[in-house]
Amino acid sequence: MSIRFTFWIMVGIVAISGLSQGMLLPAIAMIFEQEGVSSSINGIHATALYIGILVISPFLEKPMQKFGMKPIIVIGGFLVIISLFFFTQTFSFWVWFILRFLVGVGDHMLHVGTQTWITTTADPSKIGRQVSIYGVFFGIGFAVGPYLASTVQYGLATPFIISTILCLIGWLLLLPTKNAFPAQDEREVKRESSFSRYKQVVGLGWIALLGPLAYGVLEAMLNSNLPVYALRKGWSVSEVSFLLPAFAVGGIITQIPLGILSDKYGRARILTWTFCISTGIFLLAAVFDQYYWIVFACMLLAGMVIGSCFSLGLGFMTDLLPRHLLPAGNILSGIAFSLGSILGPVLGGVFIEKIQYTSFFVAVMIIIGTLAILYMIYMKNQFASRKIESRLGHDKTT
């Protein structure tokens, strides 16, 4: 089976995974709301998926190096299918918490496996494009997920049944693919512990991890806190429902073009510009947040600018790390995203409750602005070090 065909199977599976993730949050939230579960408890329940990601992360690198990427993806996909199926068999707060946790474990296994496969098999000159396609398919799935969640009106089990069937189809398509192993330095892998490799990844690629971290914060804040803020401003449920997908749609529109630009001009430069421009966009949203359509336009523009920061960060990680550290890099990218997804709603919720009469978008602007400053400092240091190297090289020739 050709690498190209396997690539499209991988991104197809990622799209279905995004669909299941995008469905779970609103579907369970709506069901719990109907059952009278408080919003705070509902929010705590939502963290189960991200806790699953954090718990499984340290245990993925060694098995992937020993058994290959396909077994990790297959087991992860199977775990998601079984968990989604059992959502249809019972209704219990704690059973669903455990199932959500298992979906997080399975999804992360699937994503780490597919990300590592894509980043290790892609042509280095096209890595940005390939990772962007991966991001687009996940984004499409995640954006469609809430519409699948709306089928809960036809029965509590309906969205879970549909999602289970779609995941099963994707999983079956995966089975004929050939196994592949991540690039590894045998001596280094045997001598070093996983913690040592994670430490190396952070040392070499900390700046790239800010992309997944930022995406996790943004996605969680905009989906969890923005509806609360918008409803308190007096906007209708239909207006809020129309507003929320704008960021995801913007990210889908520009994901591949930004990936191609990053191949041409460098991912560090593109990421720096995306963080700086999006800071200005969220400032604009904060100033004009009483005007619905200006906020909608800002959300769409922000998605077009910074909605690709996860895939750009992943591609940047591939640029910075030696190939044998890519599995550890992909795992830490997932951890960064999860930490952002957990911290984002907490920070946003505290801001809304404690700092009243101030736009919610100010909090988003401060977070993204801080990351923009870190990227500008990084770029300045890189420019200075290249200048010193060129001078040393010139001195040697003379």
Token couple for 264: 């041409």
pLDDT band for position 85 (cuts 50, 70, 90): very high
Q: Which of the pair, 274 or 22, is modelled with greater confidence?
A: 274
Cα 183 to its chain centre, rounded Å, is 24
Q: DSSP letter at 192?
A: S
Which residue, 212, 221, 246, 396, is CA-closest to 317?
212
182-195 residue pLDDT tens = 876 655 555 667 77
At 276-313, the pLDDT tens digits run 999 999 999 999 989 999 999 999 999 999 988 998 99
pLDDT higher than 60, residue 394: no
Residue 35: predicted pLDDT: 80
Torsion of CA 14, 20, 25, 30, to 10 degrees: 160
CB 300 within 8 A of CB 247: yes
Tokens of 361: 């978008």
Q: Are 319 and 267 in contact (CB under 8 A)?
A: yes
Which of 164, 77, 180 minimizes the C-alpha distance to 122?
180
pLDDT score of 346 more than 90: no
Reading the block at residue 217, the tokens are: 């914060």
What was the pLDDT predicted at 187? 55
Residue 111 has pLDDT above 70, yes or no: yes
Q: Of 68-77, 104-113, 221-230, which gets the smallest average pLDDT?
A: 221-230
Say if residues 155 and 31 touch (Cβ distance below 8 Å).
no
Q: How many CB atoms lie within 10 A of CB 398?
A: 5
Q: Give the residue-averaged pLDDT of 36-53.
A: 78
Count the neighbouring beta carbons within 10 Å of the beta carbon of residue 155: 11
Tell which wins on pLDDT, 237 or 162: 162
Please say if the pLDDT value at position 326 is more than 90.
Answer: no
Q: pLDDT > 70: what percent of the chain?
A: 93
Q: Which two tokens stand for residue 317?
A: 């990680």
Write the CATH number of the domain with boundaries 184-398: 1.20.1250.20
Strands (E), the chain: none
**How far is it, in rounded angstroms, from Cα 144 to Cα 395?**
58
Tell whether the model's pLDDT for residue 386 goes beyond 60.
yes
Average pLDDT over residues 74-94: 92
Nearest to 148 by CA among 33, 315, 335, 20: 20
Residue with tokens 């036809």: 154
Q: Residue 373: its pLDDT value, please?
A: 96
pLDDT of residue 206: 93
Predicted pLDDT at 392: 60
Nearest to 50 by CA among 354, 339, 385, 377: 339
Least confident piece of the model among 33-42, 121-130, 252-261: 33-42
* Dihedral pair phi/psi, residue 93, rounded to 5°: -55, -50
For range 167-191, the mean pLDDT: 78
Please give the CATH architecture assigned to the domain spanning 1-182.
Answer: Up-down Bundle (1.20)
Domain(s) of CATH 1.20.1250.20: residues in the chain: 1-182, 184-398
How many Å apart are CA 307 and CA 136, to the nearest integer?
Answer: 10
The model's pTM is: 0.81
Query: With 90 as the cut, is the pLDDT of residue 270 above it?
Result: yes
